[in-house]
Amino acid sequence: MSDYNFAYLDEQTKRMIRRAILKGLAIPGYQVPFASREMPMPYGWGTGGVQVSAAVLTPEDTLKVIDQGADDTTNAVSIRRFFEKTAGVQVTEATTDASVIQTRHRIPEQDLRADQILVYQVPIPEPLRFLEPSEVETRKMHSLEEYGLMHVKLYEDISQHGDIATAYAYPVKVEGRYVMDPSPIPKFDNPKLEMAGIQLFGAGREQRIYAIPPYTQVVSLDFDDYPFQASKADHACDLCGAKDSYLDELIVDDQGGRVFMCSDTDYCSTRRAQGHVGAQGSPIQEDAA
Amino acid sequence: MQAQLLEGGFADLPVDASHTFRAVMTAMARPGDIMDVAGAKPPSPLSTACGAVLLTLCDPDTPIYLGTSHNTPEVRDWITFHTGAPFSDVENATFAIGTWQALPLSEFAIGTPEYPDRSATLIVETADLSNAGTTLKGPGIKDQAQLSLPEQQAFQANAALFPLGLDFIFTSGNRLAALPRTTKVS
Ligand SMILES: [Zn+2]
């Protein structure tokens, strides 16, 4: 016998989280309160996502964990190892091979299938928090669909600061009802929130779970004079040549040399393995790694 | 009697519960999808699927209302022994179990405007569960789906309450399907 339960959490905690997930799926975009547990990792490391994954995983699952698109950051590696050890699941870096994907701040480039589950780590689940610090008040605003002030503030940000002010965590309206924070994904990813897979969001510190069922309408808030644009760097990936992927910009030498590369490392390496080559080819790959 | 009470739970609780939850979650996320579950052997008239759902989701924090169709000493004892869930009146129930006719729909908690999640989930035991009959549309459904529902009007009225409302799990033998409040039926 190991000294912890399957997937670490005790069964009563899992039942509580599972009930919250079901209500979340029944009320898309609505934040269901849950009693977050201490996890053997700091809050900034995605304890909300980890608890949701723990409640969802079965021993037959294959888990992928990404941190801003990358599988190899300390955060991603430690979460992957945590579930390898506590749930005995297979792990993978390949999006296609994963049945459950836990993510911090990105949606994989490759479209998810109906049999895949995407679990988001969420730092601040409340899209109205920057307007209103009181939870009692934001709950009231959601219940009354009082989103006017939110629109005004968003309009001011966009009209005064342009795209930069709203590049991440760009608010969406789910199924015409709840305004939802999609977590700090780049707004480039927003159109992918309408997908075939099940999307679950977990905020550990704030103790909220919410969900988007497959094929649910998710609309990024916008304005007639500032229509929503899923923007990205106007560049192709220097490693694989992809023109359709979200890019990270890296400074690669002392002379200010730059390279643009896919933020989704699996997408990039899969393309390179297929023979696609970007403008700076493979030598840069060594330096940037 | 006593032996039957002690039996019929999950052989491997964490693993069997994880499988059952995946089935229930998939069903709730994809109204119309019919899922197989296994591992529970509850006393009649509880179905295998209903038993598995109870073992996976119910505990001392979830008051259960038993419809007249399922309110027998054997069922009560089995649920108490395996889940520890208390039995409650209709208004305070988190879960309800019964045939369609045995559940007083209008009396269950539908949530509050600020907490629409504080609503009952009804586990409806049905003789037949198939992808025929009523047409379903809404979140979780690509175009449309079909499910054998006991009627339409009650589900239309429930959907009209959104974001408040009841959520349903239909169980039949070892199979289950679900219908959240978001589904439009016709
Ligand atoms: Zn690339």
B interface test, pick of A3, A13, A22, A173 with most B CB neighbours within 10 Å: A22
| Amino acid identity, position A52 | V
Q: How much is the mean pLDDT over chain B?
A: 96
| Encoded tokens for B69 | 């169709």
Q: Is B168 helix (H, G, I), strand (E, B) or coil?
A: strand
Non-local (6+) Cβ contacts of B82 within 8 A are B8, B9, B54, B55
Provide the domain limits for residue B122.
2-185
Mean pLDDT of A29-55: 91
Q: Which pLDDT tens digit goes with each residue over A252-268?
A: 888 888 999 999 999 99
Beta carbons within 10 angstroms of residue B29's beta carbon? 30
Q: Cα distance from A239 to chain B (closest Cα, Å)? A: 36
**Calpha distance A48→A276 (Å, rounded):** 37
Nearest beta carbon to residue A23 from set B18, B21, B117 = B117
Is A230 exposed, middle or buried, given 0-12, 13-18 or 19+ CB atoms closer than 10 A? middle
Q: How many C-beta atoms lie closer than 10 Å to residue A22's C-beta?
A: 25
Helix (H) or strand (E) holding B125: strand B121-125
CA distances (Å), origin B100, targets A233, B10, B54, B135, B142: 56, 27, 18, 19, 27
pLDDT band at A3; cut points 50, 70, 90: low
Residue of A nearest to B163 (CA): A27
Based on the residue annotation, tell me whether A278 is a catalytic residue of this protein.
no
Lowest mean pLDDT among A92-106, A221-235, B80-94, B99-113: A221-235
Q: How far is the CA of A274 from the centre of ligand 1 (A)?
A: 12
What CATH number did the domain enclosing B30 receive?
Answer: 3.40.50.11310
Strand order in the sheet with B184-185: B145-147, B134-137, B184-185
Active site residue A237: yes
| B18–chain A nearest CA distance, Å | 5
B18/A57 CB distance under 8 A: yes
Residues of B in contact with A199 (CB under 8 A): none
Name the residue of chain A whose CA is nearest to B29's CA: A213
Q: What is the pLDDT of residues B92-127, one digit of tens each?
A: 999 999 999 999 999 999 999 999 999 999 999 999
Q: How many structural domains does chain B have?
A: 1
Measured in angstroms, how far is the CA atom of residue A266 from the centroid of ligand 1? 9
**Residue A35 at interface with chain B, using a CB cutoff of 8 Å:** no
| A23 CB within 8 Å of a chain B CB | yes
* A25 contacts in chain B (CB < 8 Å): 25, 28-29, 140, 180
- pLDDT score for A252: 84
Q: Indicate the SS3 state at residue A110.
A: coil
| Catalytic-residue membership of A268 | yes
Q: How far apart are CA A126 and CA A200, in angstroms?
A: 15
Residue A82 is which amino acid?
A: F
A262 carries an active-site annotation = yes
B117 vs A198: CB contact, 8 Å cut-off?
A: no
Phi-psi region of A92 (alpha: psi -120 to 50; beta: other; left: phi over 0): beta
Band of residue B5 on the pLDDT scale cut at 50, 70, 90:
confident
pTM metric for this prediction = 0.96
What are the start-end ranges of the E strands in chain A?
32-33, 62-67, 90-91, 100-104, 117-121, 172-174, 178-180, 198-203, 208-212, 218-220, 247-251, 258-262
Measured distance CA(B112)–CA(B109) in Å, rounded = 9
Closest CA to A176 of A136, A139, A216: A216
Closest listed residue to residue A54, CA positions, set A98, A14, A95: A14
- Tell me what pLDDT residue A262 has: 97
Non-local (6+) Cβ contacts of A111 within 8 A are A192, A195, A196
The pLDDT value recorded for residue A253 is: 85
User: pLDDT tens across A239-248, in order?
Assistant: 999 999 999 9
Cα separation, A250 vs A288, in Å, equals: 8
Contacts of B30 in chain A (CB under 8 A): 114, 213-214
pLDDT in tens, B7-52: 899 999 999 999 999 999 999 999 999 999 999 999 999 999 999 9
